[in-house]
Amino acid sequence: MRAGRRLSFLVIATVVTLMASIAPASADLWPWGGVPPDKTVHTYCYTTSVGAGVKSYIPGAMNYLADSTDVEGTYLESPCDIKNSNEDGDPATDAAWFQVWVDNAYGQAVCKVRTASQPGWCDQWHIRINNETIDVSADPHHQYIKTVCHELGHSVGLAHYNPNLNPPEFPGEAGQPHDCQASGSVTSASLPGASGSWTWQYNQHHKDHINAWF
């Protein structure tokens, strides 16, 4: 009886070990928050809250998204269209930028309008940049660059990751370089350095998420 139990235990242990050895490396989930963007161009607009300083960081991030991924284009709309096509015949502006306080964060992205034809998709994201907190951070200039890129990444479905945990989270997937989806301060000792290109770029894993959808 004991021999039979020992054999069963060994079989189970072998199966568990085999399953662990063939399991894929941990990777982030897409879309972030369970809500994908719509599949058209990724338009953007500025609300009246956005000042010239914050506004100066946004076009570069929008252009990078269009140039480095399969997103068809990123076009500025004025004023912001806040209604989906059921209400006015046109889709809402995809990324509506705000300069506003956000509790305990440099920024925030929230889906506010769902698409008319696919209620599970997001037609408009409110992207909020917390200038008050960024302006008193260790490196405001590069913090703005990373935060704008980071929150825009959320609007196309990208998750963030925390390099400051123990153990740290992967940059989307094991083996990938850091990118702007890293959470927290741009000057964190866990990151490559505030002046690096990672602050305004998406790594290939994150680009693959975007390209697979768009």
The most distant pair of C-alpha atoms in the chain lies apart, rounded to whole Å, by: 79
Confidence category of residue 19, pLDDT binned at 50, 70, 90:
very low
The domain 34-213: what is its CATH number? 3.40.390.10
DSSP label at 214? -
SS (H, E, C) 121-180: CEEEEEEEECHHHHHCCCCHHHHHHHHHHHHHHHHCCCCCECCCCCCCCCCCECCCCCCC
Inform me whether the pLDDT recorded for 15 exceeds 60.
no
Kindly report, residue by residue over 117-154, the tens digit of the pLDDT: 999 999 999 999 999 999 999 999 999 999 999 999 99
Torsion of CA 55, 56, 57, 62, to 10 degrees: 80
Inform me whether the pLDDT recorded for 65 exceeds 70.
yes
Kindly report, residue by residue over 70-94, the tens digit of the pLDDT: 999 999 999 999 999 999 999 999 9
Alpha carbon separation from 205 to 6, 170, 171, 208 (Å, rounded): 44, 11, 8, 5
Beta bridge partners of 95: 44, 125
Q: Structure tokens of 107? A: 């920024």
Confidence category of residue 213, pLDDT binned at 50, 70, 90:
very high
- The answer to whether the CB of 210 falls within 8 A of the CB of 156 is yes
Confidence category of residue 64, pLDDT binned at 50, 70, 90:
very high
Confidence category of residue 43, pLDDT binned at 50, 70, 90:
very high
| Mean pLDDT over each residue of the chain, to the nearest integer | 90
